[in-house]
Structure 1
Amino acid sequence: MPEIDPTEFVQVEGDQQSLQFQDPKQQGNFELGVCMAIYKWDELTTAVDNSWGGPCSADKRDWISGVVIDLFEEKIVDVALIEETLLYAMVDEFDTEIDNDSALEIGDLIMKIYKDCAIQSYDRVDQLYARYQEKEANGASKLQVKVGSDPNNPDSSEDESDEEDEVPQLQEDDMAVDEPEVQGPIVDDDGFELVQKKGRRR
């Protein structure tokens, strides 16, 4: 790997107020490129897949992408600033310290993406996006680890599917989840009105 210069930077030209592109196509490709670079960061992917940032780990990854994009609202940005932003985000959001140069590599990649977009060259962004889509198609970027440490959060689709799996065990002929509780003593799953041999205690 070629040596990375952490002091490499970009700055505004003329009377521009920020490094954001005025051309929507340039800005759109840059923002996509930043997201793809963040998704390419293996250390962050590991943290998200294992929910080190809690049940909203995937949302935190997208938030980090937004934070990096916002850095370019300033008049000057260097590779070291991007690296520091990524490292602090990992500590704050995932309680994880990165002791290698991976954040520096992602910072360098984002700097290259910005410079590409500045000359309206989008090949690098297209390649990153194509690789991301390929991983999505193969399921490689999906969450592989089941989250079992947060049973009180019904927001995740996996928790919802678990609840759906339990419904047939509670009532054989009724598809509605709420109705068994309304029918009173006939229902035995609560164990308050009737105790039957086939009743389950939760």
Structure 2
Amino acid sequence: MDAQFATAAPATDASSFLDLAITLVLNSWPALTLAVQSNWGGPTSADKRDWLCGAISDMLKERPETDAEDLEDVLIQVMNDEFEVLVDDESAGDVALEIMEYRAQTARGDFSAIQGLWEKWQRKSSQKAAATNMFKQVETRDEDQETDDDEDESDAEDVEMGDAPNLVRAPREKAEPEIDEDGFTMVKKKR
């Protein structure tokens, strides 16, 4: 999920809550997430996911007769056309049902489940950010230590090591082939 979405203003009406739900559900769909992270839709994979969120929102507003099967068909087609992913694990149907349930809730004026989903997403995002920052700090410390170690090595005086053992073997002398009394060359097994 991009930083712009993570800092978006909270939803205030039924339409914006539904848009939020669609975005959260699609950003949580493992098949789409993997396709975006792997750039299976090309370098604009994240933009394609954002476009899909808007397209589904528009479809639900412009065609109120849309049902879960219609939505599932759209999800499968977009995954195939835009990301070259054949979704055959029925997850597209689950995503479609979840979006349709949030649509029904917003139509009733019930936004509590979407608000809970949003809060869960924010907690998860902040935990990821904290983990990323901790990783960056550890990585920075490791780089600092390597630099310090390099400086210590360069400051140290050279120590005489004496005669080091030969690490390169002298080539073996090739044994002359043995020829038996009939004139045949004997083949010896290598060790």
Match of 1:66 in 2: 54
Match of 2:90 in 1: 101
Which consecutive unaligned segments of at least 5 residues does structure 1 have?
1-23, 141-202
The residue type equivalent to 2:101 in the other structure is: K
Q: CA deviation at 1:130?
A: 1.6
Aligned residues: 119
Match of 1:114 in 2: 103
Percent identity, aligned pairs only, is 32
CA deviation map 1:52-73 (0-9, x unaligned)? 1111111111111111111111
Specify the structure having the higher radius of gyration (Cα): 2
Q: How does 1:1-202 map to 2 (within 5 A)?
A: 25-72=13-60, 73-139=62-128
Q: CA deviation at 1:105?
A: 0.5
CA–CA distance in structure 1, aligned partners of residues 64 and 101 of structure 2: 17
Q: CA deviation at 1:103?
A: 0.5
Match of 2:3 in 1: none
Shift >2 Å, 4+ stretches: none
Structure with the largest fraction of helix: 2
* Alignment RMSD (CA, Å): 2.0
Q: CA deviation at 1:139?
A: 2.5
Q: CA deviation at 1:119?
A: 0.9
Which consecutive unaligned segments of at least 5 residues does structure 2 have?
1-11, 130-191
3-state SS in 2 of match to 1:53: coil
